Amino acid sequence: MKTIGTMEFYTHDEMLDRVVGEKGTPQRERLERDVDNFLIGEAIRRTREAKSLTQEQLGELMGVKRAQISKIESGKSITFNTIVRAFKAMGAKTATLDLGAMGKVALW
């Protein structure tokens, strides 16, 4: 924490520690896992859209229904196998999710 005048400023990690819990706690690990899953789902969605595929078309390529693709893209039902199958089905060798000021997430 840093104080300037009467205002207190906290880093992102300090706020997460206070609001969610310190690193290593079940609540913090769950939040970080959920964020990671969301970002992976977002990378899959953006790659699908860049390939001009609908969710239904990607589902056909993967052998699953459109509803499953929707779950994957929303960060649910994410497993390593699912990630690999999705990118292979789209013929993508790499995928990058640009988060603007937050940086980039790259998947190979």
Which tens digits make up the pLDDT trace of 3-42? 788 888 889 889 999 999 999 999 999 999 999 899 999 9
CB atoms < 10 A from the CB of 55, how many?
Answer: 19
CA distance 38 to 49: 16
Name the DSSP letter for residue 77. Answer: S
Q: Which residue pairs, CB below 8 angstroms and at least 24 apart, start in 3-8?
A: none
What is the SS3 assignment for 3? strand
Report yes or no on whether pTM surpasses 0.85. Answer: no
pLDDT tens string 66-102 = 999 999 999 998 898 999 899 999 998 766 656 554 4
Angle between helix axes 26-50 and 66-73 (nearest 10 degrees) is 120
Q: Which two tokens stand for residue 9?
A: 């400023």
CA distance 28 to 30: 5
